[in-house]
Amino acid sequence: MLVLDLALKSLRNRAFSTSLTVGSIALSVALLIGVENVRVGMRESFSNTISQTDLIVGTKGGTIQLLLYSVFGMGAPTENVSWEAYRQWADHPAVEWTIPYSLGDSHRGFRVIGTNDDFYHRYRYRGGQEIALAEGRASEGLYDVTLGADVASELNYSLGDEIAVTHGIGEVGFLVHDHMPFTVVGVLAKTFTPVDRALYVTLEGMEAIHLEEGTSSASDDGHAHDEAEAPTDDGHVHEEAEESAPAEDGHAHEAEPEAAAADDGHAHEEEAPVDDGHAHDEEMEAAPADDGHAHEEEAPVDDGHAHEEETEATPIDDGHAHEEETAAASADDGHAHEEEAQAAPADVGHTHEEEAEAVPAEDEHDHEEETEAAAADDGHTHDDESEVAAADDGHAHGEANLSIEDVEVTQVTSFFVGTTDRRDVLMLQREINDFEDEPMMAVIPGVALNEMWRSLGYAETGLRLVTIFVVMVGLLGMLVSLYTSLNERRREMAILRAVGAGPNRIVALLVLESACLAAAGALAGLGLVYVLLSVGQSIVEAQVGLFIPIRPPGSVELLFMGAVVTAGFLMGFVPALKAYRTALHDGLTVRV
């Protein structure tokens, strides 16, 4: 005890150099223990991302790949699982619940995940915590989207905002689904897991994005046109609006059903040849498409008569022409293009001019005058519109009336499985891996994580070696400090020898000093780690999403500290041996 007390007093006497040495050792030890805590925290954070899930099922491939793209939002899937196969395993007697995931789209670098209500009720993280909503509600409708906490904060979204998703899961997509915007209906509470960095829609919503993309045919200017065709007996498409023009009032009443422009944007006019001397004129105005061209088609009939449906017919004379008019609504640019189809020559050899002359003078109104008269008579245009109304931005949505019941889910990317009995996990995994109808595989999350950590073990080992070298540098600094101080302590050593301290006491003194410096540095480093954890834990968790638990020192930390103290103790023998070989008179001699 006398030697230990003497060593402590000697260190206090050299307080400045002692504090520098302890500080350097403390920083190196703090780095060593801190890296170990970060390593453990990373493993726990990865493990806590998903809890109480027995299996993750997807298409055959790598187990780590399936784990990464399903749970951690890293990497891309190769194939999807059919809805029939998913339902078959979801209905398996050993399965209690499933959570389907549908991937493939993103929004400004954040992944969009299609799922169902089971995600909000069954998903667990960090030892059994449930998914909670910070505001709003979960996605239920076809156009609903619920945001993760990081998505809402980084993009500054709030309830009611509309967003468009992009095909692809990278930072830059190659196809924006702006024809189907989603409305923000909820924001999830912070979980400090990859759940915070995703957007969640319904499975039907994810399916509808690509359904509308395949079924809606928009023209070059972004306007979509719908077709309304009425097949007649002869197999031709006749869209007719019949007018009767009574002579006594001179008003023409038109019944004009609209015909939407076809996908190629051309309007088709039909001519019906007649053989009884009556001119049957079919006039069809087609909505102009992007190129503004009109195409005329002749509709031949088997017996030379025109197949027409007449809803209103008022005979004027025996030679009066019965005119049938079909008006199509003009396209989005608001211009109406009117084109009249000429009547084909009949079998009796009547020409178009002769038929036109057969009209009495009192009814000599051309098509445009009759239209104006009809508008003046009742102020209404009798149109049956089959076009879908344009949206606020001027674009027409061909599938805007879709509801969630109209969409049938055809596939999912992967799904999580919870079993009724944990003892059935291995049996169920084997059955899924041997499934013959579709190549599928099931992985146990914990096993896949361990495999991932084994593959990353070399990185952990390398990082640990770096920190060990840092500790060695700190200890070498202590050794240099003690060794160089011997020259200044020559007189001190000589006085100790003069009062009866033998060489062994001198060796013990210097070794204890070295061990005390190392122990003080190790304890200071451990304390520094806990101070940093208590102050920065929430900051690191909020900024990086890495949760580092604060717990008492474990066996690894105690092992590191013991190794540092032992190394310091052994290094103390280097200056002690030099002092041991120093003669008594050497310390009493004045050097000049």
3-state DSSP helix/strand/coil % of the chain, to nearest 5: 45, 20, 40
pLDDT of residue 444: 95
Residue 92 pLDDT > 70: yes
Report whether 437 contacts 85 (CB < 8 A).
Answer: yes
Whether pLDDT at 162 is above 90: yes
Per DSSP bridges, beta strands 411-412 and 162-163 are unpaired
SS3 58: strand
Q: Which range (94-108, 116-130, 447-461, 510-524) has the least confidence?
A: 447-461
Q: Is the per-residue pLDDT at 474 higher than 70? A: yes
Contact 540, 546 (CB under 8 A): yes
Rounded mean pLDDT of the chain? 72
Residue 213 amino acid letter: E
* Nearest C-alpha neighbor of 246 from the set 324, 315, 326: 315
What's the confidence (pLDDT) of residue 149? 94
pTM of the model: 0.62
pLDDT at 537: 85
Confidence of residue 401 (pLDDT cuts 50, 70, 90): low
Answer whether 107's CB lies under 8 Å from 147's CB: no
User: How many other CB atoms are there within 10 angstroms of residue 275's CB atom?
Assistant: 17
- pLDDT of 309: 36
| Dist CA 319 CA 312 (whole Å) | 17
pLDDT band at 163 (very low <50, low <70, confident <90, very high): very high
Distance CA 230, CA 237 (A): 6
Considering Cα of 225, then 228, then 231, then 232, what sign does the dihedral take? negative
| CA angle (569 as vertex; 565, 574 as ends), nearest 5 | 145
In one-letter notation, the amino acid at residue 276 is D
- Dihedrals phi, psi of 3, to nearest 5 degrees: -70, -40
For residues 13-28, average pLDDT: 91
User: How confident is the model at residue 349, as a pLDDT?
Assistant: 36
Model pLDDT, residue 585: 57
The per-residue DSSP string of 356-391 comes to HHTS-GGG---HHHHHHHHHHHHS---EE--SPPB-
* Token pair of 202 as six digits: 């319904």
Q: Does pLDDT of 460 surpass 60?
A: yes
Residue 450: how many other CB atoms lie within 10 Å: 13
* Percent of the chain with pLDDT strictly greater than 90: 35
How would residue 501 be classed by pLDDT, with cut points 50, 70 and 90?
confident
10 Å CB burial of residue 474 (0-12, 13-18, 19+) is: buried
Confidence bin at 253 (pLDDT 50/70/90) = very low
Average pLDDT score over residue span 549-575: 90
The rounded distance, in Å, linking the Cα atoms of 316 and 370 is: 15
Nearest alpha-carbon partner for 57 in 85, 19, 76? 85
- Coil, helix or strand at residue 354: helix
Distance of CA 434 to the CA centre of its chain: 31
Contacts (Cβ under 8 Å, ≥6 apart) of 354 = none
Confidence of residue 488 (pLDDT cuts 50, 70, 90): confident
**Residue 289 reports pLDDT greater than 70:** no
* End-to-end Cα distance, the chain: 37
* Distance of alpha carbon 366 from the chain centroid: 61
CA-based nearest residue to 560, from 467, 473, 495, 423: 467
Please report which residue ranges of 436-572 form alpha helices under DSSP H. Answer: 445-455, 457-488, 490-498, 503-544, 555-571
Q: In this structure, is the dihedral angle defined by the CA atoms of residues 374, 380, 386 and 387, taken in order, positive or negative?
A: positive
Beta carbons of 180 and 145 less than 8 angstroms apart: no
C-alpha to C-alpha distance for 524 and 536, rounded to whole angstroms = 18
pLDDT value, residue 7 = 85
Backbone φ and ψ of 50, nearest 5° = -140, 130
Phi, psi of 39 (to 5 degrees): -60, -45
- What gap in Å lies between CA 207 and CA 57, rounded to an integer? 20
* Main-chain dihedrals φ then ψ at residue 92, nearest 5 degrees: -65, 140
